[in-house]
Amino acid sequence: MDKNMLSKYSFGIGDRFTHQGKYQLKAFIEAEKAGVNITPVWNKSYREHTTVGSKPDSVLGQAQKVTKELNWKHSFAVDADHITLETVDEFIPHSNFFTVDVANYIGKKADQISIDLFIKRIRSLFLDELKIRGLDKPLNLTISNIREVANKFLFAIQHAAKICEYIKSKKGDEPFLIEISMDEVEVAQTPVEIFLILHMIVQNQIPITTLAPKFTGRFNKGVDYEGDLKKFESEFEDCLILMKYGVQHLGMNSNQKLSVHTGSDKFSLYPIINKLIKKHRTGLHLKTAGTTWLEEMIGLAEAGGPAFEMAKSIYKESLERYDELTGPYQTVLNIDLNKLPTAKEIDTWSGTLFCESLRHVISNSTYNPSFRQLIHTSYKVAAERGNEFYGLLKDNEEIIGKNVYENIFFRHIKPLFID
């Protein structure tokens, strides 16, 4: 594994239609000018590829093209996002970062021998309670507690190990990075769970670079965090401390770090995250979700003419196909149907009104999170418009690019890493 593939800070950028790489990368160049090195990680999931009809090689192709064009001298990564054993094959030649999603395996029970062995090992190392400096409470490591955690997570980690071995068997000596993600579950993992999960990861010899736990609260797509900020703060800090514990005491990768999924637009969390990663001098990976696609829609509306017509027509069709489009995202949306403008209303809207309703500026009273979340899901409609849509992206490249860049740099990277 090449440990130098990610800097301390890395930032996942999704680009559904592979048109905005240049403007996304520009935000990293600005960060570098401000003295902060951040590795760009272009991520795209199997679901996104299927929805827009693209293939994993296009992500790598664009990354290579724009890093050359903008003379980016540092590393970059291409993330096969939320892959499983069934979907990973096509990604392998074109990715150097694999997000192994174990959410579906949590709660499935490993074989009894592995569970008993795990309990025995942990008990040979620790007594009932373990104090870790920085954590509020000692970790409760009684046999029954360990058993409960092993019953819930060991199978999932064993499965992750299987996927990693499979990738390794295909990649050979070529270095790649592993993230284990368990964010797509209902309940946040406790400190004891994280602690024991790290042990399972080490015992199963998975060389992770990042771990994406679930945090309390709602990480809805395209909008700010909804939840208890104090609770998030303490969970996030506990996770940082435990990840550091893994490096210092379990021999995990020295550059291993936490990953925050659906991290775009979580503006109320950024000052907390910024403060804590600096306090603990740890790294961070933050993965965005669809925020660039929303800037494409804003740019089209701002451009006016046929571009604005396209943006309006995509929205109107999304209204008609509401159930189909929002279905796959049901658990990560919070749309107030009464707040969605009707097709008739949209026809009377100016480009400015459309932009201001969509652009994520909380202080602007026109901003409409319900409108924004529906449009988050409507990229499928855009993809169906095919060349007509792609042509408009090209024709209005500059105005769209400006929105893409400003969103990533000023609203995300700056408050997260620089301020």
- Residues within the interface to Zn ion (CB under 5 A): 181, 183, 261
**Residue with Cβ nearer Zn ion (316 or 412):** 412
C-alpha 352/C-alpha 266 separation (Å) is 24
Measured from the CB of residue 82, what is the shortest distance to Zn ion in angstroms? 6
**Residue with Cβ nearer Zn ion (183 or 237):** 183
On whether the CB atoms of residues 44 and 14 are closer than 8 A, the answer is: yes
How far is residue 62 from each of residues 17, 23, 235, measured CA to CA in Å?
A: 10, 12, 36
**Residue with Cβ nearer Zn ion (181 or 204):** 181
Measured from the CB of residue 249, what is the shortest distance to Zn ion in angstroms? 27
Which positions ≥6 away from 224 have C-beta within 8 Å?
Answer: 265, 266, 267, 268, 360, 362, 369
On whether the CB atoms of residues 412 and 288 are closer than 8 A, the answer is: yes
* CA count, 13 A, side-chain hemisphere, 112: 0
**Residue with Cβ nearer Zn ion (183 or 296):** 183
**Residue with Cβ nearer Zn ion (49 or 316):** 49
**Residue with Cβ nearer Zn ion (261 or 312):** 261
C-alpha 381/C-alpha 319 separation (Å) is 11
C-alpha 55/C-alpha 213 separation (Å) is 28
- For tokens 């379990």, the residue is 250
CA 203 to chain centre: 26
**Residue with Cβ nearer Zn ion (261 or 316):** 261
What 3-state DSSP class applies to 141? coil
Closest CA to 60 of 27, 26, 15: 15
Measured from the CB of residue 277, what is the shortest distance to Zn ion in angstroms? 19
- Report the amino acid identity of residue 319: L
C-alpha 357/C-alpha 296 separation (Å) is 14
**Residue with Cβ nearer Zn ion (64 or 331):** 331
Measured from the CB of residue 99, what is the shortest distance to Zn ion in angstroms? 7
C-alpha 365/C-alpha 361 separation (Å) is 9
Measured from the CB of residue 204, what is the shortest distance to Zn ion in angstroms? 21
**Residue with Cβ nearer Zn ion (180 or 301):** 180
Q: Work out the burial of residue 97: count CB atoms within 10 Å of its CB; fewer than 13 is exposed, 13-18 middle, 19 or more buried.
A: buried
Which positions ≥6 away from 399 have C-beta within 8 Å?
Answer: 299, 302, 303
Q: Which residue in the shown chain puts its C-beta closest to Zn ion?
A: 261
- For tokens 């500059």, the residue is 398
DSSP E strands in 89-172: the ranges are: 97-101, 129-130, 139-140
